Amino acid sequence: MKYLLALSLLILVLYPVSAQDTKIDWLSFEETAQKMKTEPKKVFIDMYTDWCGWCKKMDKETFAHPEVAAFMQDNFYMVKFDAERSDTIVYANRTFVNPNPGKSRSSHELAQALMRGKMSYPSYVFMNEEMKIITVVPGFFPPQSFEPVMHYFGSGAYENQDWETFSKAFKGTIKP
């Protein structure tokens, strides 16, 4: 029994809990707006639809990657937003609805506003600590391609460096 306990402790010491155990704690837009009142943080909004295959691939491959999940969780409030949701959202003293709930491919007004009318899925809205849009980035990214994007916005490099300069100098750790 002592041998088994000693072996278990040795395994725990040699195999520490790592970023591999990090999962993204996805929030709703409403939860994030509440949290921002007391704990401002950058916001990342994953705009998706139920029918979008690339959205599902992004979830399975990129957002599930341990390094991506750990960095994103540490640097952003992570929001999942169904761009075709049918409920009403009140935000910034304005009411947003889906004008044709139940109709195929009808987008929510808040999704339209956040994505500046360019309805492409998946798309990602990066917001600053005041919930002001920094930019919208469309498309699927494998983990190694998403790494410089998340660092550019998560580190605040976008505030004083253009993307081209940043991306040329960026040395990532995620391998294909």
Q: What is the DSSP string of 112-169?
A: HHHTTT---SSEEEEE-TTS-EEEEEES---HHHHHHHHHHHHTTGGGTS-HHHHHHH
**Domain-embedded: residue 173:** no
Residue 164 lies in a domain: no
CATH code of the domain in which 154 resides: 3.40.30.10
Judge whether 116 lies within some domain: yes
In-domain check, residue 12? no
Q: Does 63 reside within a domain?
A: yes
Average pLDDT by stretches of 10, the chain with 176 residues: 43 41 90 96 98 98 97 98 96 94 92 96 97 97 98 97 97 93
Return the pLDDT at 21: 62
* Residue-wise burial string across 58-94, b where 16 or more C-beta atoms lie within 10 A, e elsewhere: bbeebbebebbbbbbbebbbbbbbbbbbeeebeeeee
**Domain tally, the chain:** 1
Residue 8 lies in a domain: no
- With respect to residue 167, please indicate whether it lies within any of the assigned structural domains: no
Structural domain boundaries, residue 121? 18-158
